[in-house]
Amino acid sequence: MKKIIQIALWALSIFFCYMIVRSVTAPIEFNKTKQKRYTAVIHRLKDIRDAQEAHRVITGKYASNFDELEKFIETSKFTITSQRDTSWTEYDKSYRIDVMKQGVVIDTLGYVSVKDSLFKDSDRYKKMRFVPYAQKKEQEFVMKSQMIDKNGYKVSVFEASVPKEIVLWDLDKEAVAQETLKNTVDDVKGKDIKVGSLDDVNSNGNWPTLYDAKTSRK
């Protein structure tokens, strides 16, 4: 009987030691996995933003869906221009003399495809709609665009986002719940990872600069 009690106590000791170690290592492992997944998600959100900004420059507004944006990447072109100062004389009827005029001439030098400009030889734009690490293989980011009134002018805005819970779906539920509440400058703020805004003229992401450093190397 005494031997059984000793074995039970040893088992409990090992269990409690494991729980203590786990309480220390679990948050570290969670943060490591979280940062890896967030980095991949943010990299795609940046691709979406770059493509949307190109769409706005060429068409005057943001794309409303991924099919439209992908077709734009494959078919549209940037105009390459140069700007130079120029001057000329012009007869002034009021003073009845020739006067010197100055202006700017914009020359069209050529065209370059949006795809080559943004993605070069890569076809990753075909995957930018899909959320990395999601449980559902073809889980897409939510992307919307609309026109808003800004100081009396109609302005195009867009937003692309994914709930953190979708990216962290297989991790500790309590840790994920805490993650969705974070709102400091060192965290991805709020319950979603997103870029852009439907309420303001803003194409920034809601992530800290830590992730800009990570994604710039990709």
> Does 8 fall in a domain?
no
| C-alpha span between 79 and 175 (Å, rounded) | 49
Please give the structure tokens belonging to residue 28.
């570290």
Say if 115 falls within a structural domain. Answer: no
* Domains: count for the chain: 1
171, amino acid identity: L
- Residue 55 DSSP one-character state: H
The token duo for 2 is 């005494």
Can you give the pLDDT at residue 86? Answer: 75
- Residue 21 has a pLDDT of 46
Contact 201, 156 (CB under 8 A): no
> In the chain, which stretches have pLDDT less than 70?
1-25, 81, 99, 105, 107-108, 215-218
Placement of tokens 């302005």 in the chain: 155
Q: Can you tell me the distance from the alpha carbon of 115 to that of 95, in angstroms, rounded to the nearest whole number?
A: 54
> What integer pLDDT is reported at residue 156 of this predicted model?
98
Q: Are 215 and 39 in contact (CB under 8 A)?
A: yes
Distance CA(159)–CA(64), nearest Å, equals: 10
Q: Which two tokens stand for residue 51?
A: 């493509």
Identify which of 115, 123, 128, 112 has the alpha carbon closest to the alpha carbon of residue 215: 128
Distance between CA atoms of residues 35 and 189, nearest Å: 14
Question: What's the confidence (pLDDT) of residue 217?
Answer: 46
Calpha distance 160→129 (Å, rounded)? 9
**Is 168 inside a domain boundary?**
yes
Q: Where are the beta strands (DSSP E) in the chain?
A: 77-92, 97-113, 142-150, 153-163, 192-196
Token pair recorded at residue 95: 């003073």
| pLDDT for res 87 | 73
Could you tell me the residue range of the domain that residue 183 belongs to? 33-66+123-215
12 occurs within a structural domain: no
Residue 199 domain-assigned (yes or no): yes
At residue 85, the pLDDT reads 78
> 83, 105 in Cβ contact below 8 A?
yes
pLDDT value at residue 78: 77
Is 37 domain-assigned? yes
Residue 23's pLDDT is what?
53
Longest Cα–Cα distance in the chain: 122
- Cβ contacts of 150 within 8 Å, gap of 6 or more: 201
Domain membership flag for residue 128: yes
217, HSE (Cβ side, Cα atoms, 13 Å): 5
209 in a domain, yes or no?
Answer: yes
Nearest in space to 168 (alpha carbons), one of 157, 158, 176, 156: 176
